[in-house]
Each structure stands twice: as C-alpha cells, then as structure tokens.
Amino acid sequence: MEVKPVRSYKKPGYPDKLTVMSGPELLKSVPERWKANARALFAMSALFAITAAGCGPVPDMTSGDGDEKNPGRKSDPALVAPIFEHGGGRGGFGCVSISPPVFLSEEEAMDVIRAEAEEAGISLDRGGLTLKGVRIPKTRYYRSTSSTKKGELELDGYDADKEIAVEFVSLKDYNDWWTKENEMATAGTYGFIDAARLLRDGLEGRTKDTAVGVFYDPAPFDTNLWEQGLSFEEIQAELKKQSIESLRQQVRDFIEWLKGEGII
C-alpha cells in the first residue's frame, strides 16, 4: 500500500469551524431530542458563548444590556422550557395495571417544586398568572393524548418579580382536561408526559414575557417491587419516594435551564 498526500477534501455535510465562526447563530439550532437534555443544552450554550466571544464583543449582562426588571436577564431568551424527562409519566387502572399506580397530589408536587425553587432564589406563589388563548391537551384514558383545545390556564406557581412560572400536570388536570370522544374501555391509562409535551408546545408565544416550566407526574412503574415480598402499602410508599425524587430532578433541570438562558 502506497501512502500518498491528500490534495483535496470533500466538503462535509455539516457546518465546519469556519462556517460556524462566521455565523455562530447556527449553534442555536439543535436537534429536538437535545432540547430535553439539560446537559446537552448547557454544553451548546457554553460553546456558543466561546464562539461568539471570538467573533465580537460580548454584552455586559450586568450593566444595562439585560431586561430592565432583571438586569442580568437576556433581552430575548427562550420563554418555555423543554420537558425534562425524569419518570415514565404513565399510569393505569384495570387490566393494564401491574404495579399499583401512585400519583402525587398537586399540593405534594408543589411542595417539592417550591422547595427546589427557593434554593435558587425563586419564590413561587400559588396562582397569580392566568394565560388565555393557550392550547390545552384533550386528554384520553385509553388512547394516546395527541390533540388540544383552546382555553385559559391558571399556572400553579408564579414569581412576579423574576417573571417565572410553573405548571404541574397532575391527575386532577388530566381528569379536568378529559375529552369524552369515543371513550369506551374497561381499563384506563394516564399519559402525563404526553399531556405535558402538548401543553408545553401550546404555551409558546402565550406566556406574557414570563419564563415557564412544565412538569408532570412521574407515575413510577416498578414491577420488581412485587418480587421483594413487600406489602401493598410498602410498595406504594416506595413508589411515592421514587416519584418525589423524579419530580425533584425535573425541577433541578429547569433551574439549570433558567441559568443557561440568563433568566436567573
């Protein structure tokens, strides 16, 4: 085999370094699957900052270049966070239920969410912000939730000073949003994560300059617990612990997203 020098290269099908350096806004376009990954978004935002720093001056976000109410906030951040997936977000009754379903009440969920938010200096008051003209999921009990209807939504928590709000997709929400279209079955399922995704998309452009995070009931599913000889009550207690931890991770990812967007 004779080794020869390479005299020409085929142009790659992806943007090369020079292309990105001349147009760093390309780094803002990321695959959909990356948008739900806080670590991927953090890495991309860091890369964008480094690239932009080599192309021109970086605005001083602490000296008037940010939002008048929150000086450190970007002038045009993304306002609706991606869905951060921690927990399967699906539960069921009837013949589909192998493990006892354990759901978090809205009060339990908001206790977890507020506690994590307070650690980041965010004070979430109950209600305080109602959005009109948003797309709300039309939930189903035994088929996937895939359609929406127009309506208004009172968010579960709101920090008026920082303009940050949250919504937790709960069992109550799922029941309230239920549509009776051709629903006939002996088993029922809850697709909290599907409803959360639809709601998140339906909020875009409707948040009144408020950054919003949408969380969902993790509804953990662990059939291995039955094999450990635990009682029904012990299994429910363990699943509740798993659910709370998964929700806590959702909130922590949201807070990292807020930091990455320059909102806090």
Average pLDDT score over residue span 205-220 = 93
- Band (pLDDT 50/70/90 cuts) for residue 106 is very high
Tell the burial category of 121 from Cβ atoms under 10 Å away from its Cβ (0-12, 13-18, 19+). exposed
Q: What is the pTM of this model?
A: 0.67
> Poorest-confidence range of 164-168, 204-208, 240-244?
204-208
Q: Do β-strands 211-216 and 164-169 pair in parallel, antiparallel, or remain unpaired? A: parallel
Predicted confidence at residue 224, as pLDDT, reads 75
Average pLDDT score over residue span 160-175 = 95
Predicted confidence at residue 65, as pLDDT, reads 46
Phi, psi of 106 (to 5 degrees): -60, -35
Strand partners, 91: 190
Q: How far apart are the first and last CA of the chain?
A: 59
Q: What is the pLDDT of residues 249-262, one digit of tens each?
A: 999 999 999 999 99
> Poorest-confidence range of 112-126, 133-147, 168-182?
133-147
Q: What is the pLDDT of residues 21-68, one digit of tens each?
A: 444 445 445 555 444 554 554 454 444 443 334 443 333 333 344 455
Predicted confidence at residue 1, as pLDDT, reads 56
Helix ranges restricted to H, the chain: 17-22, 32-35, 38-55, 106-119, 171-176, 192-203, 232-260
Phi, psi of 168 (to 5 degrees): -110, 120
Average pLDDT score over residue span 235-239 = 87
103 Cβ neighbours under 8 A, 6+ residues apart: 91, 170, 171, 190, 217, 219, 243
Where is pLDDT greater, at 116 or 221?
A: 116
Q: Say whether 36 sits in a helix, a strand or coil.
A: coil
pLDDT, the chain, mean: 76
Tell the burial category of 117 from Cβ atoms under 10 Å away from its Cβ (0-12, 13-18, 19+). buried
Where is pLDDT greater, at 58 or 172?
A: 172
Predicted confidence at residue 128, as pLDDT, reads 85
14 Cβ neighbours under 8 A, 6+ residues apart: none
Predicted confidence at residue 148, as pLDDT, reads 87
Q: Do β-strands 164-169 and 157-159 pair in parallel, antiparallel, or remain unpaired? A: antiparallel
Predicted confidence at residue 222, as pLDDT, reads 72
- Band (pLDDT 50/70/90 cuts) for residue 77 is low
Query: Are the CB atoms for 250 and 149 separated by under 8 Å?
Result: no
Where is pLDDT greater, at 190 or 49?
A: 190
216 Cβ neighbours under 8 A, 6+ residues apart: 83, 87, 89, 168, 169, 192, 193, 195, 196, 250
Predicted confidence at residue 193, as pLDDT, reads 93
- Band (pLDDT 50/70/90 cuts) for residue 230 is confident
Predicted confidence at residue 61, as pLDDT, reads 35
